[in-house]
Amino acid sequence: MMGTGERPRLCIFRSNRHIYVQIIDDTNQKSLCGLSSTGDKAFNKKNKTEVALEIGRRIGKLAIEKGITQVAFDRAGYKYHGRVKAVAEGAREAGLKF
């Protein structure tokens, strides 16, 4: 999957404890913005799906602020279920289209 300048790629990586999300422009080989659940103490008391939903909302808001409205959703081979689905729903709530 490739992300272009007009439609960058929203890429997800999830580990057992954390979730990492970044928006990548593959034509210029740049990461436009990214977030993760590591280091934020507000996430300590939430379950992993709630954290993923909040990360999706935050990445969507950050992307909108940078002028990105459409992305290609790259789930990196993970099933569209659980935390991956929560990130997608959070990003859509924030206004991203994919």
Q: Where are the domains of the chain?
A: 9-94
- Helix then strand then coil, in percent of the chain rounded to 5, is 35, 25, 40
What confidence tens digit (pLDDT) does each residue in 9-46 have?
A: 999 999 999 999 999 999 989 999 999 999 888 888 88
Length in residues, the chain: 98
Helix orientation angle between 83-94 and 48-65, rounded to the nearest 10 degrees: 30
The separation between the first and the last C-alpha atoms of the chain, rounded to the nearest angstrom, is 14
10 Å Cβ neighbour count for 64? 14
Domain 9-94, CATH: 3.30.420.100
> Measured between alpha carbons, how far is 98 from 94 in angstroms, rounded to an integer?
12
Output the pTM of the full model: 0.91
What pLDDT, in 10s, does the model give residues 38-73?
Answer: 988 888 888 999 999 999 999 999 999 999 999 999
Instruction: Kindly report the backbone phi and psi dihedral angles of residue 10, in degrees, each rounded to the nearest multiple of 5, phi listed first.
Output: -95, 110
